Structure 1
Amino acid sequence: MDEVEVIVAHSERATLRVGDVFLKVDADQARMDAEVEAMSLAPVPTPEVLWRKPPVLAIAALPGTALGHLGRPSTGSSAAWAAAGAALRRLHDAPLPPRPGRAGRSSAALAAELDDECASLVANGLLPADLVSRNRRVAEAALRPWTPAFTHGDLQVAHVFVDGDEVTGIIDWSEAGQGDALYDLATLTLGHEERLDDVLAGYGTDIDLDVIRAWWSLRSLLAVRWLIEHGFDPFAPGCEVDVLRFRT
């Protein structure tokens, strides 16, 4: 009999694995709708939807292994990272999905959220004020006009599966929608900055590296408190706090 493996679980959602089936439990019906819709529209490999009975979505496991994990050295080849960049380019060049995604927040709304979060990080003693202020300045470059693209919205390196040098699929599309393409590129390479050149070799276009660096800082600043409150450790080696330290 297959065991039930808890992949991730917190107050917003949970993902379980039973054999070759992943069960995603999410009480937010709109988020589940967005995930299924995005997978049906994305021009890249995605998991097969086996069945859906809210609040549960059952999807098939992908072949291969994750390209990497935050806080651990990536075992993926340069060619595999380039393949991930090429897949991301196909996604960003695709027709826009009907709804905005996580990467589609306006610059004004994002700046207000960032300022509130920075103040909270300092007031609650989670991070030193100088570390927060320096990264807030770096993050400013991300707060600029951008052309909407079809974005994944949460393209952590662990969400890209590869077999050898080929991308076999991309998982976790609940934050997908119209957004800033450079947010996806920065999320994929967060904590793996040495792989950015490989990703861009596959992506195949000139990129403003200052904006990528800005998103590394911005995403990390916004993530620290949420991660702590949901049982994760952003202070682990190679994770969000180390990203912030490296930026300064």
Structure 2
Amino acid sequence: MDEVEVVVAHSERATLRVGDVFLKVDADQARIDAEVEAMTLVPVPTPEVLWRKPPVLAIAAVPGTVLGRLGEPSTASPAVWAAVGAAIRKLHDTPLPPRLGRAGRGRDELTAELDVECELLVTNGVLPADLVTRNREVAEAALRPWTPAFTHGDLQIVHVFVDGDEVSGIIDWSEAGPGDPLYDLATLTLGHEEHLDDVVEGYGTDVDLDVIRAWWSLRSLLAIRWLTEHGFDPTAPGCEVDVLKSRM
């Protein structure tokens, strides 16, 4: 009998694996609705939905291996990273879904949230003030108007699977919806700056690299407290705190 593996679990949702089946437990049915709808609309490989019985969504494992992991070197070739960039471009070129999800946080909302998190990081002694101040300055470049595109919304490197030189699956579409396309590119390459040029080459259009770097700082500053409170370690080598330190 297959064992039950806890893939991730926190107060918002949990994902379990039993053999080749993943069970996603989420009390927010709107989020599950968005995930299922997104997977039916996007022109990239996604997991097969096996069944759904709220609050559980059962999906099949995708073939291949993860592109890499935050804090660890990726063994994927430049060609593979370029293929991922091309797949992301297909996603961003897809017409915006009429009902899917909500628009991502706007500039004013992001600015207010960022200011709160930065103050807490310093006040609570989580990070040195100069480190927070420098990255808050870098993050400013991301706080500009953008044209919304169909985005994944949480395109972490572990959510992308590859087989050979091809993208074999992209998982976890619960945050999909209108957003800044450069946020997807930044999330994918967070902690893997050395592969950014390959991704951009595959993406096939001019992108503002300063904005991507700004999103690295912004995402890391916003994530550190949440990660810590939910049992993750943003201070692990190559993770969010190291990303912030690299901006100094």
TM bucket by the smaller chain?
Answer: over 0.9
- What secondary structure sits across from 2:90 in the alignment? helix
Kindly tell me: are residues 102 and 65 of structure 1, through their superposed partners in 2, closer, same or farther at Cα, counting changes over 3 Å?
farther
Aligned to 2:202: 202
Structure 2 residue aligned with 1:34? 34
Distance 1:192 1:205 in 2: 20
Amino acid at match of 2:167: V
Partner of 2:228: 228
User: Kindly tell me: are residues 182 and 38 of structure 1, through their superposed partners in 2, closer, same or farther at Cα, counting changes over 3 Å?
Assistant: same
Query: TM-score, normalised on structure 2?
Result: 0.98
The 8 Å contact of residues 72 and 238 in structure 1, kept in 2 or not, is answered as yes
- Aligned equivalents of 1:146, 1:199: Cα separation in 2: 20
1:165 deviates by 0.8
Alpha-carbon shift at residue 98 of structure 1 (Å): 2.7
Distance 1:224 1:179 in 2: 22
Deviation, structure 1 residue 99? 4.7
Q: What's the C-alpha RMSD, in Å, of the aligned pairs?
A: 1.1
Amino acid at match of 2:150: F
Q: What TM-score results when the alignment is normalised by the length of structure 1?
A: 0.98
CA distance in 1, matches of 2:208, 2:166: 26
For 1:219, give the aligned amino acid.
Answer: R
**Which residue does 1:109 correspond to in 2?**
109
1:158 equivalent in structure 2: 158
Q: CA deviation at 1:100?
A: 6.8
Distance across 2 between alignment mates of 1:103 and 1:65: 31
State the alpha-carbon separation in 2 of the partners of residues 25 and 163 from structure 1.
28
Q: Is the 8 A contact 1:99 1:178 kept in 2?
A: no
Is 1:85 equivalent to 2:85 in the alignment? Answer: yes
Structure 1 stretches of 4+ moved >6 Å = none
User: How many residues are paired up?
Assistant: 248
> Which residue of structure 2 aligns with residue 238 of structure 1?
238
Supply the distance in 1 between the matched residues of 2:122 and 2:165 (Cα, whole angstroms).
43
The residue aligned with 1:48 is 48
Q: For structure 1, which runs of at least 5 residues remain unmatched after alignment?
A: none
Q: Deviations over 1:146-188 (max 9, x none)?
A: 0010000000000000001100010000000000000000000
Structure 2: tracts of 5 or more residues without a match: none
> What is the SS of the residue equivalent to 1:92?
helix
CA distance in 1, matches of 2:113, 2:37: 27
SS at match of 1:222: helix
Deviation (angstroms), 1:102: 7.6
**d(CA) in 2 for partners of 1:138, 1:36:** 35
Which sits farther off after the overlay, 222-231 or 100-109? Answer: 100-109
- Residues 31 and 101 in structure 2, CA contact (< 8 A), matched pair in contact too: no
Secondary structure of the structure 1 residue equivalent to 2:246: helix
